[in-house]
Chains A and B, each alone.
Chain A
């Protein structure tokens, strides 16, 4: 069974500082990995995805993530935080071997950006 662990339910950074949101996965096969963002009272928006191509993945809004198989990690980073980045971020995993794209989500990390 797959699982996703997001370390830190709340992360605060100053505007302009580095954003680092941590995600570790557990999967019996190399998975597909995703980061989604949820703004208040909104649905989920896909930030980026890893699907066994390049290990460094660039997404929207200046975010990127690196797949590290040896560490079973897929941490999300952004060099310089902006106030508009304040939101909840979810890491998710799916099994590429299956026919479906059911996602298993982490518990989420609430990002606060301080002025």
Chain B
């Protein structure tokens, strides 16, 4: 398995502000992903974080709203920009290690926008 540290674990933010979520892995991984879990819902993939290049976004998600960085093989950030109450969700980092078939998840960041 992989040890994934995601920070912050939770936050309450004012609308119109931005929050940056960090994901740190204990070893090099090939793939890093960001998911959103809206209240009472399943997980939806936001984007694939690519090392040293722009992230690959899924339909319905754009870079201006969810800028992502991945400067190296063990670290990524997701920023939720210009937040509104509709952005209140759990945001989860997911990683896949070299040679593995399964994805591991961080504990998630529980975001509430007021």
Contacts and interface: CB of A to CB of B under 8 A. Distances in A.
Given A102-B33, A102-B48, A106-B42, A41 B110 contact: yes
Contacts of A51: 101
B102 A46 contact: yes
B107 A49 contact: no
B11 to A, nearest CB: 14
Interface of B is mostly: strand
A102 B108 CA distance: 17
Bin the interface of chain B by size: 20 to 34
Interface of A: 32, 34, 36, 41-46, 49, 51, 90, 94, 96, 100-108
A96 B108 CA distance: 26
A105 B43 contact: yes
A1 to B, nearest CB: 11
A49 B102 contact: yes
Interface string B15-42: 0000000000000000101000000011
Contacts of A44: 43, 92, 105
Most buried by A among B44, B101, B107: B101
A41 to B, nearest CB: 7
A43 B42 contact: no
Nearest to B45: A102
Contacts of A101: 31, 33, 96, 100-103
